[in-house]
Structure 1
Amino acid sequence: MIIRHARIPLRVVFPLALLVFTLILSLWSLRYNGRLSDQEVERRSTLELTGLLTRLQITIEHAYHRSDLVLVQREFAGLSANPDFTCLVLFDEKGTILASNRLGDIGTNWNKRLLSTNQASNQLILNKLHQVKTQEAGQVYLTEDRLGLIGLYPILLGHNPKELREPIRGFFLISESLNRAKHESFESVKRQVLQFSIVLGVFTIILAIFFDQLISRRIWRMVQVTEEIGKGNLEARTELTGYDELGRLANSLDQMSVARQNAEARLLKLNRAVEQSPVSIIITDLNGYIEYANPQVSESTGFERIEIVGQNPNIFKSGQHDHFFYERLWNEITAGRQWRGEMHNKKKNGELFWESVTISPIFDDAGRITNFLGVKEDITDKKLSDVALEQARADAEAANLAKTNFLATMSHELRTPMNGILGIGQIMAAEEEDPEKREFIDVIIASAKALVQVLDEVLDITRIEAGHLSAQPEPCDIKAILSNLVTMFWAGAKAKNLTLVLDDEEILHRYLELDASLVTKVLSNLLANAIKFTPKGEVRLKAISLPENQIRLEVSDTGVGIPEGHLEQIFATFTQADSSPTRRYGGIGLGLAIAKNLITFMNGTIGVRSIEGKGSLFWFEIPVLTVSPNQINSAPDHREALRPIGPGHRVLVAEDDSINASVIRRILTKQGFVVLEAENGMLALDRLLEESVDLVLMDCLMPILDGYQTAKKIRQLEAEGRLKGRLPIIAVTAKAMEEDRARCLEAGMDDYVSKPIEVKLLLRAMEKAIHG
């Protein structure tokens, strides 16, 4: 019910309502707590009487067994001292009272005693007596008026184990009045409710005063201000503050006049923003007919606004999109979803132009679509720019591909003659006994290897820039890797009278999972630089295990050091500390750049500390995983000594360069191999069909039929059964890029050795291919 015309002020109604509420709450509390109090008295008294009867049952049965009724009468006399026990009766199975708190009842029949009680109560006792007889268990129950408790227990004296049930020899009954206990409990409840009512009354008075000051007066002030605003005085203010509802309401009233002015200003501002927007804005109805178009639409299309409103956006169609395009668009927005895309539209003068279009449904409060909003931006210039950018990207990719192809071709063309130089040099070094001539040969070999290293660095940086390099962690022995590196660089350090020290005492776990190849390459670069730039003293390789599964590797030296101003760019490509070391020590400044990129591939960090004239310390930290020695043992051991291959194995060398073929023939002949030669892939296939061979060394770039196609043909002949078994094929090529290795293996070759040939590497690959 809504009270529309209240005559009594709130400042009176509220305190009065509180007082009425206090009275009702007090009466309800008295009634409710009184009921709880009675229930508690009944529960507690029932428990106490049950305990008393259980103890008394034992006593009576014992006395009854000895025919000592005096003991029972004495117990009853003791209980009679409690005025709440109104009836204590012991009677036998015939109903004769044997003991009672009323001595005059002894010897009489207990039924006569019942005649003096209420008929309903009498019947209840008889029913309970029947249940006690049947269940042979005592019962305690409330009287019908809930003002008393009656306990009725049997006397059991059977001791014959053959008897299934103990015979009942009698019963005893105790009646307890609860009037006194309930009265005392209710009096306690009344005192508590009275205290509560007094406290609540005082609180009500305080609350009424508080209500008058905090609520009534503030509401009256807001009423006055509301009347002023209703009269048009938007300057009226309540000047009330607070964070409660009334304070916020007062603040809302104070802002009402300002809000009305601001609403008009915002509406004007929004209209100006849409009208002056640099993008085209169109609003259509549910059928797609234009209801609004801002001036930019006219500027973009050449249509006047009067020509646009009421029309369908089809007037902008250029014919460049099929009807499925517009059907998909319409299905999307009518389903309540936003559509974004690009449209090739037509202006009024027939000129075509591109627009980026976003069409969104507009919903009412009930979630129904009422209109569609289209926001369009002319992207014709951007489209032209994208075409130019795409062309520039294609040109850049072509230039990058040309660079890669040039470097690969340059590498191939340089490695091919270098293979002859190094191969002949290694053969001559093995055969020459004159020390002076061997020294000249060593210079030739060292110079050729230096040139090959430059080629490798250029190819490495090219692979890194192209993103063709990635880390491939595998189980390894880090101490063995470091030991091998020290062994590898020991001769170079000794030649300069340097001490090369390995410090691996701080390695906690020697068996780790990491990319051993990349770590070795980085440390090789750092050690080579350290030895190169250290005139005297020592070079130290140190490894430290770090927390969180990381390892730190350091290469320090006592060399020339790096000026502080050059430390920031030391890891840039083609960079050294200055030009003079480059001239003095050689190199093209790629080693550290490659090292930094390799560490990045392994998700690590690299850095340097240096003092000019005192030396440098290069370090890097990479994440690792600890593995078990068993994993290391199961991994292939590439450091295993070569087993003797044995003389008499037949090797087919498919090589179009006569110098390289001669070098390989000389190397293999000295090892006891029988060498067959073929100048191209076609001749190689003919030789294989005519003669039996154990291994093929395959050049990749040959006339008529290249090495890749030849390998595929060999595998095809094997599948057809024209060649028996699987013939091992090792690529021996100047194509040294990583993708070249992958291409060789994909063509069906088993291994790969790059030119110029290292004799040990070639023999190791051949031994692995022949013996498995």
Structure 2
Amino acid sequence: MEINLNDRILISEDKLNHKFQTFHIPCNFFDILPDMSFVVDSKFNILHCNNTASEFFQLSKSEFVNKNFLTLIAEEKREEFESNFQTAVIEGINQQFESAFVADKQKKFVQIIISPFYKNVKTNLSENRDRLCFIFARDISLQKEKELDLVRFANVAEYTVNPLEITDVDGKIIYVNPAFERSSGYTREELIGKNPNIFSSHKHPKEFWMNMWETIKQGKVWIGEVINRRKDGQLFYTDLLISPIIDNNGKLIGYFGIHRDKTEQKKLEQQLIHAQKMESIGLLAAGLAHEVGNPLASISSLVQVIQRTNKDEFTNQKLELIKSQINRISKIIRDLVNFSRQSTYELQSTEINKVLRSAIEIARVSKKAKGIKFIEEYDPNIPVLYLVPDQLQQVFLNILINAIDALCIDVNRMVYFTSNPQIVSKTFKDENKVYISISDNGIGIPDSAIDKIFDPFYTTKKVGEGTGLGLWVSYNIIKSFQGEIQVNSSEGEGTTFTIILPINLVSTE
């Protein structure tokens, strides 16, 4: 079936006359169009369709004739379609919108254009009874599916716990998800347009990154463990997978990186290794203390005998030096013995604030501390805990003494690292834990030393000024209380030690 269609274009107008140019369109012309096309009257009756529409709905052209166009529209979209159709018919203005067809019982999304025209060229513009409409429809189901996939991916990317980043081919960041912001400490605005080397910890050699770039530039997936640095300077560890992004033409357009944050896992591994090392050292210390202690006692006795009988002043000075070094060794051995065996101290109801205040009073007496301001902030609601107060005081003193040493550069001239040296001690709690923090604004701990400070015999002090056992002893005491010690330090700015004790140690008395 074929019908001839006339349309007219307004080429000029004045108050009295409208001049139109009329043209003739054969309906079979629309069969060459790739999109579906229909001719529909003002009552939604289909007068004609092209081959694309026939194939889409699996209906012959004759089956379409006089079929109500609304029956092709998905039910929930019909009201919107009618509104747009009536606007096109009444106002003579093209309407473009998205809708949905139902073909073979399946919903198909389409882009629709309704374009009105006249069947009778002599009809007055105000009369609609002879107005027909072209309806052009393009199947956008695949596009919609891609958009839906994109929405799904966007939601996965935004809400996953794994840090994600996307870069262009030059390695500049074009997207990061909220998890990446949390892990890195940077905001999205700070990262867009930057190179990922902003996180560099300088822990990997150049060859490591060269291998990564060679792999992904070949269109291959690269997997490795990386150590990055947060905005606040702390290290964070991730398993990183980088995949090239390839477009439909096989062209490389960027890279997609997904991280699995394993910082906490690394901390637990380091704590386990440290605990095992401490256990081994404890066993060694027990034997060492016995083997060294006996001959040392003999040497000490001989020195004292010689001192009593010797009249030479020079010899006595040297003997006194030997005696002081023996006392130093003896102290180290006592510390080793104390922490290589189970404590014999009895657990007692302990007021944390009282013990800390007492430790601070002792630390104040030090000559080095005379120019230091001590700031104390106590939470009055700290519960009484069931532990060993003497040992806890020793922990506080060890940390306070280290803080004083970090502030005092020259005790003889009373020279301090900063013009306003201070030590701030605080206690606070949450639902399950008690926190004691001791902060100084001293010289700080170098990054190279931060992982070693709880090792026995490790010290950054001058020879003779420290045994390197204070923090090791403190670590073991707090560990015996089922707690932990955390340290946060910036070289040149200061150090904060935080002692965390579980509230399940509350006294039952």
Settle same-fold status: TM greater than 0.5: no
Identify the structure with the greater strand proportion. 2
Give TM class, smaller chain.
Answer: 0.3 to 0.5
Task: Look at both structures and tell me which one has the larger radius of gyration over its CA atoms.
Answer: 1
Indicate the structure with greater helix content.
1
